[in-house]
Amino acid sequence: MKNIHADIITIGDELLYGQITDTNSQWISAELDKIGIRTKRKSSVSDKKEDIMEILAEAEKRSDIILITGGLGPTNDDITKKVLADYFKCELVLHEEALKDVTELFSRRGRELTELNRGQAFLPTACTYIPNRSGTAPGMWFEKNGKIFMSMPGVPYEMKDLMTQSVLPALKEYFKTPVIIHQLVKTTGIGESNLADLIKDWETQLPKVIKLAYLPSLGEVKLRLTASGENVDQLKIAINNELEKLRPIISDYIFGYTDESLEKILGDFLRSKKLTLATAESCTGGYLSHLFTSIPGSSDYFKGGIIAYHNEIKTNFLDVPEEDLLKYGAVSENAVTKMAEAVRLKMNTNIGVAVSGIAGPGGGTPEKPVGTVWMAYNDSRKTVTKKVILSTKREENIRMAAYSVLELIRKSI
């Protein structure tokens, strides 16, 4: 089967001046990849007619699908719609359905439709109107010689809504893309190259129909198995066969099979077992608790935490004796063990965790360099401790230390 190629075009002066990061094109290309469409080029251009006309012509030559975001606001500096009308040599006319939708959106928000926003219901006659349920800028679908142009607003959640609800299904249908099945395997506690070494033999024997991708991010490496073909049941069987072989090789590191984060998976587990947790943080300074509490409903299992940045707080709130701090230091197995147990008992939870380390850039010594982190897990039956040496970068150390604690909890409960 011939490859289907896409060009992604993001439009806006603010992208060219470096005022904002374009996250739309990454999200779009990842979604296209999932349905077997290959992104050939990503481009950002300014809100200038000649620049937009130029990239449209280039993209049309190269790709089957041209996805465009941005430049659809009601103000004069947003010109994408006018340029599209010129590109497709047609007029802008009032679209009754678009007008009805934008009027309704305003009345839901308790506002009168302004003349400026009424203008948003004018569309190029060459396009098919694709309703945008979460904003005032309509989606526009153009067909030309078997190629598709789709213009969407630049606001990420509006664009994502349009893509998910309308554009991706329509592209699948239009280009009759093959059936594609993905299976994620999320791992933590092992780096990308070590993981690759470990599963080398398994990877070599994978059938041609299955492709493997390594998707590393901070604290985890995601494996993605992709099978594409005609028959969905056969593909599912093929994926499951490989999963069965893979599981025993890396069972120590697998924490999930969906795109949920480790803090979400741990939280769901704690809730299902009716367990509660409290944190005692030094070097992570609140970031570990933030990971837990960023999950909706985390109050079901997360009761609270002590951020014991100063040693005085470790002593007064978490019962780490001053003489211990002098003898072993605040970054020690002794300190985190006492902190984890104290926070569990004082906050009356099933589990207490503690973390203390040298985030840097200052504070390192030859024995305890920057990046040294001690952590402890404690429940009524046991204490598990772990020491890691991370990087020299403060921000990375804070994040990695917090993820290491999540990993310690996962292995200990």
- Report the residue from 44, 132, 378, 385 that binds its own copies according to the rule CB under 8 A: 44
CB nearer to its own copies: give 279 or 337: 279
Distances (CA, A) of 401 to 19, 55, 183: 31, 45, 28
* Site residue total, its own copies (CB under 8 A): 71
Q: Binding of its own copies at residue 18 (CB under 8 A)? A: yes
- Report the residue from 124, 153, 267, 305 that binds its own copies according to the rule CB under 8 A: 305
**Beta strands 179-187; 210-217: pairing state:** unpaired
- Torsional sign, CA 334, 338, 341, 347: negative
CB nearer to its own copies: give 43 or 103: 43
Instruction: Considering only residues 19 through 38, tell me which ones interact with its own copies, judged by CB under 8 A.
Output: 19-23, 25-33, 38
- Report the residue from 99, 190, 209, 313 that binds its own copies according to the rule CB under 8 A: 313
Q: Specify which residues 373 forms β-bridges with.
A: 357, 388
- First-to-last CA distance in the chain? 48
Instruction: Considering only residues 112 through 141, tell me which ones interact with its own copies, judged by CB under 8 A.
Output: none
- Report the residue from 4, 35, 52, 55 that binds its own copies according to the rule CB under 8 A: 55
CB nearer to its own copies: give 231 or 348: 348
Find how far residue 27's CA is from the centre of its chain.
9
- Report the residue from 35, 351, 398, 408 that binds its own copies according to the rule CB under 8 A: 398
- Report the residue from 87, 149, 302, 377 that binds its own copies according to the rule CB under 8 A: 302
Pick the closest to residue 88 from 117, 113, 53 (CA basis): 53
Q: Binding of its own copies at residue 45 (CB under 8 A)? A: yes
Q: How far is the CB of 308 from its own copies (least distance, A)?
A: 5
Q: How far is the CB of 81 from its own copies (least distance, A)?
A: 21
Instruction: Considering only residues 252 through 291, tell me which ones interact with its own copies, judged by CB under 8 A.
Output: 279, 281, 284-290
Encoding tokens for residue 369?
Answer: 């360099």
Q: How far is the CB of 297 from its own copies (least distance, A)?
A: 7
- Amino acid 337 reads T
Pick the closest to residue 315 from 330, 332, 331 (CA basis): 330
- Torsional sign, CA 77, 80, 84, 87: positive
- Report the residue from 151, 298, 332, 372 that binds its own copies according to the rule CB under 8 A: 298
Find how far residue 43's CA is from the centre of its chain.
22
Contact track, its own copies, 365-394, x by CB under 8 A: -----------------------------x
Instruction: Considering only residues 184 through 213, tell me which ones interact with its own copies, judged by CB under 8 A.
Output: 213
Instruction: Considering only residues 337 through 356, tell me which ones interact with its own copies, judged by CB under 8 A.
Output: 346-348
- Report the residue from 36, 43, 129, 411 that binds its own copies according to the rule CB under 8 A: 43
Q: Binding of its own copies at residue 317 (CB under 8 A)? A: yes
Distances (CA, A) of 174 to 4, 168, 210, 229: 11, 10, 24, 17
| Number of neighbouring beta carbons within 10 Å of residue 152 | 29
Q: Binding of its own copies at residue 110 (CB under 8 A)? A: no
Q: How far is the CB of 42 from its own copies (least distance, A)?
A: 4
- Amino acid 235 reads L
The continuous run of DSSP H or E covering 376 comes out as strand 372-379
Q: How far is the CB of 94 from its own copies (least distance, A)?
A: 28
Distances (CA, A) of 43 to 13, 47, 139, 141: 13, 13, 19, 19
Q: How far is the CB of 10 from its own copies (least distance, A)?
A: 8
Q: Binding of its own copies at residue 93 (CB under 8 A)? A: no
Gap between the Cα atoms of 31 and 381, Å rounded: 46
CA angle 124, 125, 127 (to 5 degrees): 75
- Report the residue from 292, 374, 377, 403 that binds its own copies according to the rule CB under 8 A: 292
- Candidates 40-48, 75-83, 87-95, 258-266; binding stretch for its own copies (CB under 8 A): 40-48
Distances (CA, A) of 389 to 120, 276, 287, 336, 404: 56, 29, 18, 15, 11
